[in-house]
Structure 1
């Protein structure tokens, strides 16, 4: 692979608790009896899609209340061990170009990623506001390919959810499962690369 496009949440940084704890609290406060396990299954997709899938009566209101709470949970965010070293190595390879394609809007990206300095390793960025449909639609990955001027046959999308897998294959690129967060399961039988740790990314450079 020569072109690496990354998801953010659950792939570069661990943001599960920052997002899902306040969502769960919001749902309980508004009379919805979901368990945390019910809620966390939707981690990694567009926020409006998440509340719609949950079937709440007023998704706009619930999303607004949810997002008002997130600022109180940012202490839970951290970069996964080994990620920054791998990004440095990939950036140093003159044949490799990298992008981020995330369901975040740019302000969320700056809050969650820029503060750790990870943005300096990437050539291009795609935010949810730039595309019509979020994952599992391929729009964000296709936009990343466009911005990188990438060859899809030499492109891999790195993510941690089945929605990431579906989006990658809909975009006709390879999919690498971030195994440092997500274990292999029946949902990922079509995974092209199971990456047990971030360093495994270095093993697939030019492997196409």
Structure 2
């Protein structure tokens, strides 16, 4: 029996791809870390920012990460809630199940980049990259969220748009639903339990 639906944020609730890539590209250029194309930086979507900078072999990760976060706010006009999603969430909260969030954003990034959309109060638990030592694709963030919700993994669905989300769900023992509006492809998601073409299809999961 389905008792909880857990959402990723970037690429699932919020369309943040352009803001993330543009702000990272500009920050790396300003810090003289090199010039990268969007395709070269796309791997950073779905993992904590500091992990992405580490993979880019940035030397002063903490300082550069702070500048990247500040740059993200400069591109906030590029960010929007995916169409149809807010009414879906508003419908879900009327059902006998719990909603949560598991994201690679830090707690401060949630405050700066997610809270302004006035959606946070719909979710019983919000687990950020600040809340666990290990991050997606490790199952720890999702397991922590489910533990706080007092829901067994087998009774939960995690909705996300990246392979990190899929791996996190599978390792936690939860089902995974692909948000195709964010992922834009099913390649590499053969293990997904559900493929959602549009946000309104989330409601079919509880029928």
What is the TM-score with the length of structure 1 in the denominator?
Answer: 0.92
Partner of 1:162: 163
Distance apart, 1:116 and its partner CA: 1.4
**Which secondary structure does the structure 2 equivalent of 1:87 belong to?**
helix
Structure 1's unaligned 5+ residue stretches are: none
CA contact (8 A) 1:99 1:122 kept: yes
How do 1:41-190 residues align onto structure 2 when only pairs under 5 Å count?
41-93=43-95, 95-190=96-191
Structure 2's unaligned 5+ residue stretches are: none
CA contact (8 A) 2:73 2:113 kept: no
**Corresponding position: 1:32 with 2:34:** yes
Which has the larger displacement, 59-68 or 77-86?
A: 59-68
Mapped partners of 2:68, 2:111: distance in 1: 19
Which has the larger displacement, 33-42 or 147-156?
A: 33-42
RMSD, aligned α-carbons: 1.5
CA contact (8 A) 1:184 1:194 kept: no
Residues paired across the two proteins, number: 205
Deviations 1:45-73 (A, max 9, x none): 10111011122344334323322322211
Distance apart, 1:31 and its partner CA: 4.2
Which has the larger displacement, 162-171 or 31-40?
A: 31-40
